[in-house]
Copies of this chain bind each other. A is one copy, B any other.
Amino acid sequence: MSPERVPLCLDLLPALRGEDTTKSFFQELVNILLSYVCKSFRRSSKVLDFHHPHQLREGLEGFSLELPDQPENLEQLLVDCRDTLKYGVKTGTVRAVDCFAENVPKMYYRFTYEVSPVFILMEEILLRKMQEIVGWSEEEGDGVFCPGGTMSNLYSVLLARYHFFPEVKTKGMTALPRLILFTSAHSHYSVKKSAAVLGIGSDNVVVVKCNDRGKMITAELESSIITAKDQGCVPFYVNATAGTTVYGAFDPLNAIADICESHGLWLHVDVFTLYSALIGSYMQVYLNYVYYRAWSVTWNPHKMMGAPLQCSAILVKKRGLLKDCNQMCAEYLFQTDKHYDTSYDTGDKTIQCGRHVDVFKLWLMWKAKGSEGFESQVNKCLENAEHLFDKLKQRPDFELVFKSEPEHSNVCFWYIPPSLRNMSPGPERNRRLHEVAPKIKAKMMEQGMAMIGYQPLGDKVNFFRCVFSNPATQTEDVDYLLEEIASLGHDICIRTETDL
């Protein structure tokens, strides 16, 4: 992606903007932070400059929390940062002896509006924007930021269970019939993990078969649901994946939604495993995706949107469910006799107490890139994947794991060392091929010039998996990577041919 092709403020990556711009921006930012820190330790400083939610929402002296389509310029970003600090609570002051206060000025605490007025509203605005993109109506939609996509998926199972069996909250699983949930063989392991943690049991997760391309076979899903019912169990939840971890495959969402509808099951869509496929009209149109049919969605901005981990959101169609499911009404935190609208106190929606402010980085990125910037960033990664796919098709020393075009930014392939090129397929060739990727990777790590993952999957022996998420990666880097693998692989196989 050449600098000319990206919007001016797409990113602060030195590779895209020039090192000087990056440096001067961050130095200015640090000055803002330092004067904030120093100021908040002075006794004359206010702990906070209080405004009611509606005041802050409407915008104060040009401070707008709304998310733009077009990127803002760097000067405006600095103003945004300054205003975020200005309207927040200075928890570092020596005169804040609330249970929330600490000895560092920080942007880390949130569960009531009084402690985090800015971040509470930021989260609301971001979640609303995300729900709009999913396609839910104005009357629908709720959500919360979670410590990672695995936790978001856990929330989805927790909420689905509570939706069908609210008595589980007080009575526990022993009061319930045997529940069954469904996910594909290529889905993320967090669905099984959630079942184990929530007391449902991993055996009660039915793993539905996938086709060669890693997509859930819907006929298998439907027959599994019927089988479970016949056995006296209660199916309640289906996880569909939009971008699987390894293949980057998209389950057939519309067909799965039909099945869920006819059986009355909760449909969760995990846009977790790889990237934020929700962003970018390209993906939405291309895949004809109908996210609005989901009852819940896991969306991970820390993947392809480039937010630093952790930054994951669980979005829920049914409003109020998060709070009903999770609230414990601890009166020492969530008093209702406060002097502002306490419906903004979101702490009781979560299974955590205080949370890390994951919203701020996403909010600032959105200001810096705009919706269009995210879209072009995602598209650039998809272009890199296409480039790699085209290259691999042409080379005799590589073999694609599947021949169809990549649907997302994952490309899976084997390097075939000279000694294996003329071997006929079979167990012996597989046994040898299985050892190739780990050996190349070990060399690569010791040399340290590139990094790529590998894994086996089902009947496929160890293969490389290339996943593009860095918009600064150019086609020349893709070419370099292939040459690097070929050169390391060629070398290894010569020296260890007898082992193979």
Q: Which residues of A contact B (CB under 8 A)?
A: 11, 13-15, 19, 22-23, 26-27, 30, 33-34, 37-38, 41, 43, 46-50, 89, 92-104, 106, 108-109, 114, 147-151, 154, 158, 161, 168-179, 188-190, 192-193, 195-204, 245-246, 274, 302-303, 306, 308-310, 326, 328, 330-333, 335, 337-339, 351-356, 377, 435, 438, 441-442, 445-457, 462, 465-474, 477, 480-481
Contact = CB atoms under 8 A, between A and B. Distances in A.
Contact of A438 (B337, B351, B438, B457): B337
A104 B41 contact: no
Contacts of A351: 150-151, 154, 193, 197
Given A14-B38, A445-B339, A477-B43, A456 B147 contact: no
A177 B174 CA distance: 8
A340 to B, nearest CB: 8
Contacts of A333: 455
A455 B335 contact: yes
A92 B147 contact: no
Contact of A174 (B46, B47, B173, B245): B173
B171 A46 contact: no
Contact of A108 (B177, B190, B308, B326): B308
18 contacts: A15-B94, A27-B34, A43-B477, A43-B480, A48-B445, A97-B466, A102-B470, A150-B351, A151-B352, A169-B196, A170-B196, A170-B201, A172-B178, A173-B199, A173-B200, A197-B197, A197-B198, A198-B199
A410 to B, nearest CB: 8
B37 A101 contact: no
A47 B449 contact: yes
Which 10 pairs across A and B sit closest by C-beta, in order of nearness? A199-B199, A172-B201, A173-B173, A339-B442, A147-B147, A332-B455, A46-B448, A173-B199, A108-B309, A103-B470
Contacts of A467: 97-99, 101
A202 B175 CA distance: 12
Given A19-B38, A27-B30, A95 B480 contact: yes
A147 B309 contact: no
Given A170-B201, A328-B193, A95 B451 contact: yes
* A contact face: mostly helix, strand, loop, or mixed: loop
A19 B149 CA distance: 40
Contact of A94 (B170, B309, B472): B472
Nearest to A89: B451
Nearest to A20: B38
Given A38-B19, A337-B438, A203 B445 contact: no
Contacts of A353: 148-150, 188, 190
Contacts of A33: 26
A22 B42 CA distance: 14
Nearest to A194: B351
A177 B422 CA distance: 60
A455 B462 CA distance: 58
A32 B446 CA distance: 25
Given A13-B104, A41-B472, A95-B450, 20 more contacts: A11-B103, A13-B41, A46-B448, A47-B449, A50-B448, A93-B470, A97-B450, A97-B451, A97-B470, A97-B481, A102-B306, A148-B352, A148-B355, A169-B196, A173-B174, A174-B174, A174-B176, A246-B332, A331-B457, A338-B438
A445 B151 CA distance: 34
Contacts of A199: 161, 168, 172-173, 198-200
Contacts of A30: 26-27, 30
Contacts of A100: 451, 453
Contacts of A19: 38
A169 B193 CA distance: 9
A48 to B, nearest CB: 5
Contacts of A445: 48, 50, 114, 339
Contact of A95 (B147, B171, B449, B454): B449
A172 B203 contact: yes
Contacts of A150: 351-353
Contacts of A23: 34, 38
B310 A108 contact: yes
A489 B299 CA distance: 47
Contacts of A89: 451
Given A147-B352, A201-B171, A310-B147, A97 B50 contact: no
Contact of A354 (B148, B471, B474): B148
Contact of A172 (B109, B154, B169, B173): B173
Contact of A14 (B13, B37, B354): B37
Contacts of A92: 13, 470
